[in-house]
Amino acid sequence: EAQVTQNPRYLITVTGKKLTVTCSQNMNHEYMSWYRQDPGLGLRQIYYSMNVEVTDKGDVPEGYKVSRKEKRNFPLILESPSPNQTSLYFCATMRSGVPYGYTFGSGTRLTVV
């Protein structure tokens, strides 16, 4: 079954404590992306990756890092989380060059206190 798996689903952490949200896909998609969803703001892109070792900033990259060492994995790293990064995060994948739209993970609800 085609899947985008995010972990964890829920996370409460304290300001400044480094964390990683994992994203893994089994569809061999080249393109992967991270979005955050906030009330009234919709989904905003944080980072994206066109392929292995190729990453680029989206619209709201400040405070986040990513890496793409393998095609299937695209972790989101918060080196020093702050309360304004409390949000719902989605990983999305897409086969490059084919406008079929994204396949989304189930989301990670992050609370930073």
Partner 1 sequence: AQSVTQPDIHITVSEGASLELRCNYSYGATPYLFWYVQSPGQGLQLLLKYFSGDTLVQGIKGFEAEFKRSQSSFNLRKPSVHWSDAAEYFCAVGPDTDKLIFGTGTRLQVFP
Q: Is 106 in the site for partner 1 (CB under 8 A)?
A: yes
Q: Is 61 in the site for partner 1 (CB under 8 A)?
A: no
CB 36 within 8 A of CB 88: yes
Residue with tokens 């392929």: 51
Which residues face 83 on adjacent strands? none
Q: Is 27 in the site for partner 1 (CB under 8 A)?
A: no
The piece of 15-23, 66-74, 79-87, 91-99 that touches partner 1 (CB under 8 A) is 91-99
Select from 63, 67, 77, 104 the one that contacts partner 1 (CB under 8 A).
104
